[in-house]
Amino acid sequence: MAQPDARAEVLAPAPWVDERGAKIRITAVRTFLTAPHGCPHLVVRVETNDPGLYGLGCASDPQRTLAVRSVLDDYLAPMLVGRDPDDIEDIHRLMLNSAYWRGGSITGNALGGVDVALWDLKAKRLGAPLYQLFGGRVRRWAEAYTHVDGADAAELADKVAGAVERGYRHVRVQCAVPGADTYGTAGGSALDAGAHRRRAVPWDSAACLRTVPPVLTSVRERVGDSVELLHDVHERLDPRQAREFLRRIEDARLYFVEDLLAPEDAGHFAALRETSAVPLAVGELFHDVAQFLPLLDGDRGPSVDFARIRVPTLGGLTPARRLAAYCELRGVRLAPHGPADVSPVAQAATLAMDISSHAFGVQEAAVFRPPVHEVFPGTITAADGALSPRETPGHGVDFDETAAARYPAPEPLHHDRWALLRNTDGSVQRA
Ligand code: GCO
Ligand code: MG
């Protein structure tokens, strides 16, 4: 067994480890950067002194990949070598406190990568699917939603019909705002060839307010009420515009509207709740479960309906499951984040939470391309509009290091595109 780093001894392993003579020890925490579909994935592998026994986690933050990797390689890995991987709660608190100044998305993703790997390890050692460690199943499958986008209601309605034919009962609908760089649509996030990689066109929230509500209403009229429609505003309206947006989309009868406001404006959700019954989903931008509390504990009840939990950013399954339990107590449903920049490892870990939580509502389901399946054997894909966890020990997704090396990650700044978005007056737009 590799000798623990000298600092590991100084960092006072849990007192009970030596007393009980733990047989299993962490021998290495390794990180791997790969981009099988262009978006950087940071994989964490926690290795042990039991040959061939390791756990896999995901620390993927496409906007700050290298910073997250440094937290893992330079700070957490030396601290964890020599410790007993079974003490997940102790290790999570140790990692969090070791930074002294808590939190943030970079720290969150680094902790999340280790935490999911430790849960994967524990389940493998017990020979059980990860969800069994969380109390077993409460549902046969996790309802999934897919994405469609288009330029007008006719195109969107056709794509919704296509998604329904593929078995989906929940479909996120994003429509392009003419002349504006719109989130979630084919023309969106285009970068021009300029030296500073400016966004091709600015954002125009007034045009969004004029365009999107009638298109969503028309899509509803075309597709009928048998399919749930969702929409992601992606924090691009101010509170005044958000209030008007909710008024204008009433007749679209949406399952939820996501990120109606930026996190900085979250204090307005309680007032918005008083003006509209349109269900709201918030949270993918939160890096601490405590950020959800004001929205769950409002004086007149929760001011949101769905928690958009991003397991890696919140620090892994250990904090995410605490939040899921609290959402259940407060009557708020889970709608965990899961686009393609969340790796199949994180998606499988999130699914273990979904399938064992009474609070679960719907899971965002990326459609992963073949190279992703090559790098991540066991990648789970939606079937008939649903996701089901594997019955193999752990979260069920593996990592092929050789295949991963065939897909090097692009320059990390390539994924800083959100910061490049400006409004028509030239001011920076919250993405
Ligand atoms: C979603 C999200 C994503 C984010 C992306 C940022 O609802 O799936 O808004 O599309 O924009 O994860 O990197
Ligand atoms: Mg979103």
pLDDT, tens digit (0-9, with 9 covering 90-100), for 32-54:
999 999 889 999 999 999 989 99
pLDDT of 6 higher than 60? no
pLDDT in tens, 76-106: 999 999 999 999 999 999 999 999 999 999 9
pLDDT in tens, 205-232: 999 999 999 999 999 999 999 999 999 9
**Selection from 348, 307, 335 nearest residue 116 by Cα:** 348
**Residues having C-beta closer than 5 Å to ion ligand 2:** 232
Question: What's the CA-to-centroid distance between 239 and ligand 1, angstroms?
Answer: 21
Whether residue 7 is contained in a domain is answered as no
Question: What's the CA-to-centroid distance between 115 and ligand 1, angstroms?
Answer: 22
Whether residue 173 contacts residue 167, with contact meaning beta carbons closer than 8 Å, is answered with no
Q: Which atom of ligand 1 is nearest to the CA of 147?
A: 8
341 lines ligand 1 (CB under 6 A): yes
Whether residue 97 is contained in a domain is answered as no
pLDDT in tens, 379-412: 999 999 999 999 999 999 999 999 999 999 987 6
Three-state DSSP state, 89: helix
pLDDT in tens, 124-166: 999 999 999 999 999 999 999 999 999 999 999 999 999 999 9
**Selection from 262, 269, 257 nearest residue 231 by Cα:** 257
Whether residue 181 is contained in a domain is answered as yes
Torsion angle (degrees, nearest 10) of CA 308, 314, 315, 318: -60
CA distance 170 to 193: 36
Whether residue 74 is contained in a domain is answered as no
Provide the pLDDT for residue 23. 82
**Exposed, middle or buried: residue 191 (CB in 10 Å: 0-12, 13-18, 19+)?**
middle
Q: Which of 37, 258, 260, 284 to mutate to test the pocket of ligand 1 (most atoms within 8 A of CB)?
A: 284
pLDDT in tens, 164-181: 999 999 999 999 998 888
Whether residue 228 is contained in a domain is answered as yes
Quick one: pLDDT band at residue 289, thresholds 50, 70, 90? very high
- Closest Cα to atom 11, ligand 1: which residue? 234
Residues 161, 222, 282, 286: is their CA dihedral positive or negative? positive
Domain that holds residue 302: 133-391
Provide the pLDDT for residue 8. 46
Number of structural domains found in the chain: 1
Whether residue 5 is contained in a domain is answered as no
**Is beta strand 363-364 parallel, antiparallel or unpaired with respect to 256-258?**
unpaired
Whether residue 17 is contained in a domain is answered as no
Q: Quick one: tokens of 69?
A: 């990797």
Provide the pLDDT for residue 201. 82
Q: Which of 39, 105, 341, 429 to mutate to test the pocket of ligand 1 (most atoms within 8 A of CB)?
A: 341
Whether residue 168 contacts residue 365, with contact meaning beta carbons closer than 8 Å, is answered with no
Provide the pLDDT for residue 308. 98
82 lines ligand 1 (CB under 6 A): no
Quickly tell me which residue has 């909710």 as its tokens.
Answer: 246
The better pLDDT of the pair 227, 187 is held by 227
149 lines ligand 1 (CB under 6 A): no
- The CATH number of residue 380's host domain is 3.20.20.120
Provide the pLDDT for residue 195. 42
Provide the pLDDT for residue 192. 57
Report the chain's mean pLDDT, rounded to a whole number: 92
In eight-state DSSP terms, residue 47 is: E
Q: Quick one: tokens of 36?
A: 């099988």
Q: Which of 149, 231, 232 to mutate to test the pocket of ligand 1 (most atoms within 8 A of CB)?
A: 232
pLDDT of 263 higher than 70? yes
Quick one: pLDDT band at residue 420, thresholds 50, 70, 90? confident
232 lines ligand 1 (CB under 6 A): yes
By annotation, the residues acting in catalysis are: 183, 234
87 lines ligand 1 (CB under 6 A): no
Provide the pLDDT for residue 154. 98
**Selection from 284, 283, 279 nearest residue 252 by Cα:** 279
The better pLDDT of the pair 178, 418 is held by 178
Whether residue 101 is contained in a domain is answered as no
Question: What's the CA-to-centroid distance between 304 and ligand 1, angstroms?
Answer: 19
62 lines ligand 1 (CB under 6 A): yes
CA distance 3 to 94: 21
CA distance 276 to 293: 21
Q: Enter the pTM of the model.
A: 0.94
Q: Quick one: tokens of 399?
A: 């990592």
47 lines ligand 1 (CB under 6 A): no
Q: Which atom of ligand 1 is nearest to the CA of 431?
A: 11
Biggest alpha carbon distance in the chain? 68
Q: Quick one: tokens of 33?
A: 């950067």
CA distance 260 to 292: 15
Question: What's the CA-to-centroid distance between 233 and ligand 2, angstroms?
Answer: 8
pLDDT of 63 higher than 70? yes
